[in-house]
Amino acid sequence: MSEFPTPPSNCPVCREQLLTTRLSCPSCHTEISGTFAQCDFCHLSAQDRSLLEVFLRSRGNMRDVQAHLEVSYPTARQRFSEMLGRLGLDEPVVDTDAVVKDLAAGLISVDEAQALLKADPHA
């Protein structure tokens, strides 16, 4: 983690997203001015960044995320899902009951049902 504080991502007055307008090198003190968009992850809270770091370090192991958060597995999945939502990366959850009903009714094949269920990150 960086020794520098994380800059705010929203204006403290109107709450609109801030843009970066100046960058500086701590070594040679070169400064670059312009208008730069923040990265997709910059607006995450420190808590969300920590959660994402644990998830990445554990190579996607939600049990490690659960242990880090000291919560139940469903709660860990929910918090991770909420963070994905804040990043705009949330995906629709597959309705498992609907898949099973469609399979039973012969509307989809076993292979199609398996593919749908495998595509669901929450299954």
Read off the pTM: 0.54
Residue ranges covered by each domain of the chain = 1-40, 46-86, 93-123
**Residue from 72, 120, 77, 73 nearest 97 by CA:** 120
Q: From start to end of the chain, where are the E strands?
A: 20-24, 31-36
Q: What are phi and psi of 73, to 5 degrees?
A: -60, -45
What would the pLDDT profile of 29-81 be if each residue is shown by its tens digit?
Answer: 999 999 887 788 877 888 898 899 999 999 988 888 899 889 888 888 888 88
